[in-house]
């Protein structure tokens, strides 16, 4: 295959945030964090001819989260917005095709968005649930996430980190360009650091 399929890696979409608490919809009392784009990555990959894997990433995305494990699940929330025009598979012709109406249709839908609604787990990780909007379709998705660390950074900030992985079925969002059975599902991976707002 000379083109990859969607991966909201994270897709996200997303995407997806753990930290020692849960991610729900009511975030008025939790601390606010902003995703650090310089130390965060959203990657995607899908099968190529049943032989290898085509991988890519989104170079532009933003996100915020409300995080305070002491406040409980209802105080935690995350939002990630991906600029789908920024997809990059290190192959100009393939990227051009991926941006077309056959795949990401970036002229009609330049963004993909994930908003969390629930987290089930503990301080080490668990399952994140939320709404993923992609290609004009919104679906509830769930995927595992793991907290990778938190603490002070050398620049006077406080950071939290997490990783998540979601398997996206392309046809669920209307992306049905035929690439063969090996490319029907796209693995979306999130590697996130977020900085506490001052």
Tell me the residue length of the chain. 198
**Three-state secondary-structure class, residue 15:** coil
This prediction's pTM: 0.82
End-to-end CA distance of the chain: 46
Q: What's 11's DSSP letter? A: B
CATH 2.40.128.110 fits 31-196, yes or no: yes
How far apart are alpha carbons 76 and 66 in whole angstroms?
A: 5
Domain ranges of the chain: 31-196
Instruction: Per residue of the chain (198 residues), give pLDDT as tens.
Output: 444 444 433 333 333 333 334 344 443 457 899 999 999 999 999 999 989 999 999 999 999 998 877 776 666 788 999 999 999 999 999 999 999 999 999 999 999 999 999 888 777 778 899 999 999 999 999 999 998 999 999 999 999 999 999 999 999 999 999 888 889 999 999 999 999 999
């Amino acid at each position: 295959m000379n083109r990859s399929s969607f991966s909201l890696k994270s897709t996200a979409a997303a995407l997806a945030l753990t930290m020692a608490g849960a991610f729900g919809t009511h975030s008025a009392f939790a601390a606010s964090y902003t995703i650090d784009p310089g130390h965060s990555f959203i990657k995607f990959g899908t099968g190529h001819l049943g032989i290898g894997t085509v991988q890519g990433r989104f170079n532009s995305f933003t996100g915020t989260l409300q995080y305070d494990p002491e406040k409980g699940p209802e105080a935690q929330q995350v939002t990630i917005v991906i600029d789908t025009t920024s997809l990059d598979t290190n192959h100009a012709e393939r990227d051009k095709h991926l941006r077309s109406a056959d795949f990401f249709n970036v002229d009609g839908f330049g963004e993909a968005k994930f908003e969390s609604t629930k987290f089930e787990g503990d301080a080490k990780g668990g399952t994140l649930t939320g709404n993923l909007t992609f290609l004009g379709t919104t679906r509830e998705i769930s995927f595992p996430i793991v907290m990778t660390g938190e603490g002070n950074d050398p620049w006077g900030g406080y950071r939290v980190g997490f990783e998540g992985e979601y398997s996206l079925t392309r046809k669920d969002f209307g992306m049905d360009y035929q690439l063969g059975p090996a490319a029907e599902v796209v693995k979306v991976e999130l590697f996130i650091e977020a900085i506490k707002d001052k």
